[in-house]
């Protein structure tokens, strides 16, 4: 029996800026049924306020406390560890989600030291100079903190584009360190979501488009894993050795199965 639902955002609800067909009504159905649900996102291209606004523009009505971001969780982690000065390999406006951090940009004077290097999706900002500066910070003893470790996502014109995961791996290999991953697929992120839902793992389901970033890690914790055939889903996923507990065409189908007659209002 599923009593709580965790849901990915990009690739499940929408591929910015367009909602995936049926997903707006599916979210409304969850709200009407008062079914416990929480949206989890690793997205670090923009702050939480931008994500919420873009979802509204796409037709969704999602309250801020229904969305948990990996950037917010990263801020909590840095605060707990006492990491104040942070080498900033993230988008500039993401700083609004980490107000307690003293962000040190890679172009700062060489004498500057940092407690940690924080990596998000920097896009075209992942230049050799930026990565090399992060490498030197790590050699000087800074911790490596990855907000997320996704390999790619579905971007403009329905094409897959690199996410921050490959750059995290590059820095790990070059500096001989291991990153602390905050967002999915970190079990700690899923645990935080379950805590907010007030639902044990065995009574929850995770709906995502990413087999390795969303679904399999949730299943490892005893959460039911459901993959949608939208977003970054590829036919290659059908041949992976580990498979989801269930696979559906889209969020609308998943919610209809979950709520039954209640899904139609």
- What is the per-residue pLDDT across 210-243, written as a single tens digit (0 to 9) for each? 999 999 999 999 999 999 999 999 999 999 999 9
pLDDT of residue 108: 84
What pLDDT, in 10s, does the model give residues 107-122? 888 778 899 999 999 9
Question: Does 161 share its domain with 82?
Answer: yes
Question: Does 36 share its domain with 98?
Answer: no
Establish if 101 belongs to a structural domain: yes
Confidence of residue 161 (pLDDT cuts 50, 70, 90): confident
What pLDDT, in 10s, does the model give residues 63-108? 999 999 999 999 999 999 999 999 999 999 999 999 999 999 998 8
Question: Does 80 share its domain with 108?
Answer: yes
* DSSP per residue, the chain: ---EEEEE-BTTTEETTEEPTTHHHHHHHHHHTT--EEEEE---SS-HHHHHHHHHHTT----GGGEEEHHHHHHHHHHHHT--EEEEES-GGGGGG-TT-EEE-TTS-TT---SEEEE---GGG--HHHHHHHHHHHHTTPEEEES----EEE-GGG-EEE-SHHHHHHHHHHHT---EE-STT-HHHHHHHHHHHT--GGGEEEEES-IIIIIHHHHHTT-EEEEESSTT--GGGGGSSS--SEEESSHHHHHHHHHGGGGG-
Question: Does 175 share its domain with 231?
Answer: no
Establish if 65 belongs to a structural domain: no
Question: Does 116 share its domain with 158?
Answer: yes
Establish if 78 belongs to a structural domain: yes
Establish if 52 belongs to a structural domain: no
Query: pTM of the entire structure?
Result: 0.90
């Amino acid at each position: 029996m599923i009593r709580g639902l965790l849901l990915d955002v990009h690739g499940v609800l929408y591929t910015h800026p367009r909602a995936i067909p049926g997903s707006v009504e599916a979210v409304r159905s969850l709200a009407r049924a008062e079914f416990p649900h929480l949206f989890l996102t690793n997205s670090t291209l923009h702050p939480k306020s931008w994500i919420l606004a873009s979802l509204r523009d796409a037709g969704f009505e999602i309250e801020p406390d229904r969305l948990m971001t990996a950037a917010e969780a990263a801020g909590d982690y840095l605060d707990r560890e006492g990491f104040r000065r942070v080498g900033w390999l993230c988008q500039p406006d993401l700083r609004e989600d980490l107000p307690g951090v003293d962000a040190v940009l890679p172009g700062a004077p060489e004498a500057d030291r940092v407690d940690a290097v924080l990596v998000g999706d920097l896009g075209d900002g992942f230049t050799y100079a930026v990565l090399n500066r992060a490498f030197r910070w790590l050699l000087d003893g800074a911790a490596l903190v990855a907000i997320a470790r996704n390999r790619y996502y579905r971007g403009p014109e329905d094409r897959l584009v690199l996410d921050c995961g490959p750059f995290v791996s590059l820095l790990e290999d070059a500096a001989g360190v291991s990153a602390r991953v905050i967002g999915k697929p970190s079990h700690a992120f899923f645990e935080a979501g379950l805590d907010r839902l007030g639902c044990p793992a065995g009574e929850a389901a995770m709906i995502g488009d990413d087999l390795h970033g969303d679904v399999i890690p949730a299943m490892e914790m005893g959460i039911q894993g459901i993959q949608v055939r939208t977003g970054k889903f590829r036919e290659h996923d059908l041949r992976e050795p580990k498979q989801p507990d269930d696979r559906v065409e889209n969020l609308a189908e998943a919610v209809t199965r979950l709520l039954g007659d209640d899904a139609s209002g």
